[in-house]
A and B are shown apart, each in its own frame.
Chain A
Amino acid sequence: MMENNRKLLYGAFFLALLVMPFVLNSRWESVATTFLIYSAVSLSQDIVLGRAGMFDMGHAIFFGLGAYSTAILNTVYGWPVLLTIPVAVILPLVFGILLAAPIVHLRGDYLLVTTIGFNIVFTQALKNNVLGLTGGPNGIFGIAPIKIFGISLASQTAIYYLAFGLLILTLVIIRNLETSKIGRALHYINEDSLASECIGINTRFYRLYAFGLSAAIAGLAGVVFAVQFSAVSPEAFDFMQSVLFFTIVLVGGPSSIEGVLLGTFFMFVVPEMFRQFAEARYLVFGIAMILIMIWRPRGIWPARFGRIPKYFFKEQ
């Protein structure tokens, strides 16, 4: 019964996303596209933060690495965007593993602070035009649209469906992760890393795996982001952006797909709706974040794991 409801809900959700471009005007179609991209990034952030339980507050780095790889290879070296995708996925993956390797053993808050540090160094490097490639504070303009078999996917609707495909791909990856050995290992590490180590789970390997996988997905999302705006700039990947992804996961519900999607809606689309109130909305928004955490400390739509009787859980 529960499972049927869930299938129905997902069906309705995907159907709604599919017809979106025919209902929305240009501005809202753009918001919807960014919503899809941010959802994918937040879901990838959730692999590290929610599932593996590592407090990563620098996820915008990998999103940015993907976007900048595409931007630089396309505008400076003239690669077609399609060919830049492998680089934009592998580079963040490698960076994710390299950056995480010396720090994955750190306790929660220390990891959080170090990832903030990485993010700030990353944005400063972009702003200071490192290697003369990143275009400084203004970023890079004029990224070409994706071309498949000579058809240029330049229209807004085409990019929307591209982002839709990205979200579907992310969901498939996460669905597979959830039901795989790796997903169970991550879940166990999150619950009790010492106990999981004791039963022979290589915590270090799985933690790095989580970082690598989530960085790769974020990198791919970065490509779509770069194509959507046909420009990249350091502000789109700064530390505040990481805070946004971090909050999306926690407000929505860690390791809950529905939660993260709702979180993205609440943290990104809702502020767009109240755009006419300009500055005032973020004041209300900050207060709303506090209230949500007080009322639902495990997120708006918390994750549920199987049919585990309630008495197994400690009351939090």
Chain B
Amino acid sequence: MEIFLQQLVNGLTIGSIYALVALGYTMVYGVLKLINFAHGDLVALSAYIGLVITMQLVGVFSSRLLIIAVVFVVTAIVISFFGVLLERMAYRPLRRAPRLSAVVSALGASLAIENGIMLIWGPMPRIFPADIIPNINWDLHGVYLSLMQLIVLVVSFVLMVVLYLFVNRTKLGTAMRASAIDQDAARLMGINVDKVIVTTFIIGSALGSVGGLFIGMYYRGIYFNMGWIYGLNAFVAAIIGGIGNIPGAMLGGMLLGIFNAFIAGYLSSSWALALTYVLLIIIMIFRPTGILGERVAEKV
């Protein structure tokens, strides 16, 4: 029972991170119908940028809370900028092109970012300093919860609630949903679809950057090509929940995180990756629209 609860806590933590990254995939897919393969690499980039800023700030500010706040905000701004740049350079010129051309463009962007990271920071893994988040553990009847895990859970939850309210309660969020259903009709209703797409990339990248920083602080080791594997896992999470569906990405992320943690806890970790994709294949065969169903209009 204790293993079960412990793995549940671990799974929810990693699941929150997957969910944050998955939101970026699902939102872009919703609006552009494009698998943004470069998103995972933006997540990796955010971990590196976060590390650089942290190292710069450690001597300057004495307050740890201030350092963490500045790191998160600055990284989110930088990565959002990269996200907008990506949309501008790699995706916008291809909006009327065949769909697969945009996929190749996304793969090219992913390759460029990944190798850009390697050129700047080198191929060896980098390690986040241990003491950014104080190493505090609570023992809840045999189940350990660290401060880091608590922060991940709380921040992710707050961000998701804010995103949910934004998409469902604000004018821009409504425009976003309208653009996802039918871009041309949305344009006819006076919605500035370009602006909506840029907003989508800003929000998706910012959420991804939080995910990337959490990966850095939680696992501490970061490497230049980690974007692929975290990106793919998050993308699987988005699909499990139903691609284009925002609550679906959150649910999918949590389920995938818990699934991974239980496999690592009860079975072997060398099959964890394979079993994740077996799960994906099973879902694709029996319920291709995901658990909550996709919110993407099917075009025949």
**Residues in B neighbouring A280, C-beta threshold 8 A:** 115, 119
User: Among the listed A102, A103, A109, A290, which residue makes an inter-chain contact with B108, where contact means beta carbons less than 8 Å apart?
Assistant: A290
Looking at chain A's contact residues, the main secondary structure is helix
Contacts A280-B119, A293-B102 hold; do A121 and B274 have CB atoms under 8 A apart? yes
User: Among the listed B104, B107, B243, B288, which residue makes an inter-chain contact with A106, where contact means beta carbons less than 8 Å apart?
Assistant: B288
| Closest residue of A by beta carbon distance from B272 | A124
Residues of chain A at interface, number, CB under 8 A: 43
Instruction: Report the minimal beta-carbon distance from A123 to chain B, rounded to whole angstroms.
Output: 9
**Residues in A neighbouring B285, C-beta threshold 8 A:** 102-103, 114
Cβ B270 vs Cβ A128 within 8 A? yes
Cβ A113 vs Cβ B115 within 8 A? no
Contacts A128-B274, A250-B104, A293-B94 hold; do A118 and B89 have CB atoms under 8 A apart? no
In the complex, A110→B244 CA distance in Å? 13
Instruction: Report the minimal beta-carbon distance from A301 to chain B, rounded to whole angstroms.
Output: 14
Cβ B284 vs Cβ A117 within 8 A? yes
In the complex, A208→B195 CA distance in Å? 42
**Residues in B neighbouring A49, C-beta threshold 8 A:** 100
**Residues in A neighbouring B101, C-beta threshold 8 A:** 250, 293, 297-298
In the complex, A108→B243 CA distance in Å? 13
Contacts A279-B119, A290-B109, A298-B98 hold; do A103 and B284 have CB atoms under 8 A apart? yes
Q: A5 in the interface, Cβ–Cβ < 8 Å?
A: no
Cβ B280 vs Cβ A286 within 8 A? no
Cβ A294 vs Cβ B110 within 8 A? no
Q: B93 in the interface, Cβ–Cβ < 8 Å?
A: yes
In the complex, A70→B201 CA distance in Å? 47
Contacts A116-B232, A120-B277, A293-B101 hold; do A279 and B118 have CB atoms under 8 A apart? yes
Q: CB within 8 Å of B: which of A81-127?
A: 102-103, 106-110, 112-114, 116-118, 120-121, 124-125, 127
Contacts A194-B300, A290-B89 hold; do A114 and B280 have CB atoms under 8 A apart? yes
Q: A69 in the interface, Cβ–Cβ < 8 Å?
A: no
Binding site for B on A (CB under 8 A): 49, 55, 102-103, 106-110, 112-114, 116-118, 120-121, 124-125, 127-128, 194, 243, 246-247, 250-251, 254, 279-280, 282-283, 285-290, 293-294, 297-298, 316
Binding site for A on B (CB under 8 A): 29, 33, 35, 89-90, 93-94, 96-105, 107-116, 118-119, 123, 232, 235-236, 239, 243, 270-271, 273-274, 277-278, 280-281, 284-285, 288, 298, 300
Can you offer 26 A-B residue contacts whose CB atoms are under 8 A?
A49-B100, A107-B288, A109-B33, A109-B35, A113-B236, A114-B281, A116-B277, A117-B284, A120-B277, A121-B278, A124-B273, A127-B270, A250-B104, A279-B119, A280-B119, A282-B112, A283-B115, A283-B119, A289-B107, A290-B105, A290-B108, A290-B109, A293-B94, A293-B97, A293-B105, A297-B101
Known: A283-B116, A286-B107. 5 other contacts (CB 8 A): A243-B107, A247-B107, A250-B104, A286-B108, A287-B112
